[in-house]
Amino acid sequence: MLDPRMRKLAEVLIDHSVRLQKGETVYIEAFDMPVEMLEVLLSKVYEVGGIPMVTTRSARIMRKLLMGADQKTIAQIGEVEMEKMKKAQAYIGMRGSYNITELSDVPAEKMDLYNKLWWGPVHSEWRVPKTKWVVLRWPTSPMAQQAQMSTEAFENFYFNTCTLDYSKMSNAMDSLVKLLERTDKVRIVSPGTDLAFSIKDIPVVKCDGERNIPDGEVYTAPVKNSVNGVITYNAKTLYQGKVFEKIMLKFKEGKVVEATSSDTKALNTILDTDEGARFVGEFAIGVNPFINKAILDTLFDEKIAGSIHFTPGNAYKEADNGNRSTVHWDMVLVQTPEWGGGEIYFDGALVRKDGRFVIDELNGLNPENLV
């Protein structure tokens, strides 16, 4: 018997996230996913009159492919993937994982080719700005283990988080959007962090289940050259199969001038990928009430209630500060008391303290008001 929660999730993805219409094509890209969920999703696609294209992938196969590939191979695959993406009006990326570090030993030069010739053109340059898209993880036993939860408890957490009332969250986000739109200076203070920048005239976007599942963030971007100070991220982060912790970035006039972490050499190699990788393309505030700790999965961790992420690399076109890079690395700082606390100031006024909004107009975004 199929889990009825799969049907509910499929409804969120098709009806809310990509709002698939009759006659539209949806490209479903599934990494290490159970066939049962794909069957339920396909049934929902056909129910609304959509046209599905499905690609199933394996992280192990992806590793093997990249290990042996040369520039011509990756470029050719990128060209084929681009043609597929161009035929789709919508995209759903579903990503299970049996080993989060599967790509950790792929040489940096291979990952660079992958980013420049495949991922960057297909996803950053086409899928993100030109399709209705959503990406999500899938709960697996390894994910439950890294979250330090039982498999059953993690699955309950996953489905509660992914199928919450996004309409209610969306309405509550409007006040934060309006406040950010009239804000110039932002200051973030936490242990090891004192960072200041401007967001003046940069668009603000609410993420309410239309791009990521789970969702729950409001983002903009800093004026490219306005960032000064230091930020120390307290959540572990995974990038290109490698785990980093205790990342510290020091900024001067927008650029990362010093970077250290548990693997400082690898961190700086990534930040040297291209000119834009040392500038920031996104500033976001997390508000998902069901997510209160980091589980080493970006799609969850960047939505932690009481967190921010400050992202080296490419800016989204919807909130564009002009920065371009093949890197987009959502590094997370959690400011709840369990993580050391901290404050956010807008134009000198305290807006959030220790992860809780302290002004009346944003009270609706505090966790107890969203569940």
DSSP string, 220-278: E---TT--EEEEE--S-EEETTEEE-S-EEEEETTEEEEEE-TTHHHHHHHHTSSGGGG
The pLDDT of 19-35, averaged and rounded, is 97
97 pLDDT band (50/70/90 cuts)?
Answer: confident
Supply the mean pLDDT for the chain.
95
C-alpha closest to that of 188 among 180, 179, 176, 197: 197
Percent of the chain surpassing pLDDT 90: 87
List beta partners, residue 122: none
Residue ranges per structural domain of the chain: 4-162, 166-369
Q: Give the pLDDT score at 1.
A: 63
User: What backbone phi and psi angles, to 5 degrees, belong to 166?
Assistant: -70, -25
The pLDDT of 256-271, averaged and rounded, is 97
The pLDDT of 141-161, averaged and rounded, is 91
3 state DSSP class of 148: coil
Full DSSP string of 19-33: ---TT-EEEEEEES-
241 pLDDT band (50/70/90 cuts)?
Answer: confident
Q: Give the pLDDT score at 215.
A: 93
The larger pLDDT score, comparing residue 295 to residue 76, is at: 76
Residue 197 is encoded by which pair of tokens? 């920048």
C-alpha closest to that of 324 among 227, 243, 221, 245: 221
165 pLDDT band (50/70/90 cuts)?
Answer: confident
CA dist 28 and 23 (Å) reads 16
Give the rounded distance of the alpha carbon of 69 from its chain centre. 27
Evaluate if residue 2 carries a pLDDT over 80.
no
C-alpha closest to that of 48 among 72, 90, 20: 20
The pLDDT of 151-178, averaged and rounded, is 93
Contact in structure between 156 and 212 (CB atoms under 8 Å): no
pLDDT in tens, 328-339: 999 999 999 999
pLDDT in tens, 197-215: 999 999 999 999 888 899 9
pLDDT in tens, 309-328: 999 999 998 999 999 999 99
Q: Decide the pairing of beta strands 237-239 and 90-95.
A: unpaired
147 pLDDT band (50/70/90 cuts)?
Answer: confident
Q: Give the pLDDT score at 285.
A: 98
Which top CATH class is 4-162?
A: alpha beta
Instruction: Report the predicted TM-score, pTM, of the whole model to 2 decimal places.
Output: 0.80
DSSP symbol at 34:
-
The pLDDT of 341-349, averaged and rounded, is 98
Residues 6 or more apart whose CB falls under 8 angstroms from that of 278 comprise: 255, 256, 271, 272, 312
Residues 6 or more apart whose CB falls under 8 angstroms from that of 296 comprise: 100, 146, 147, 236, 237, 238, 243
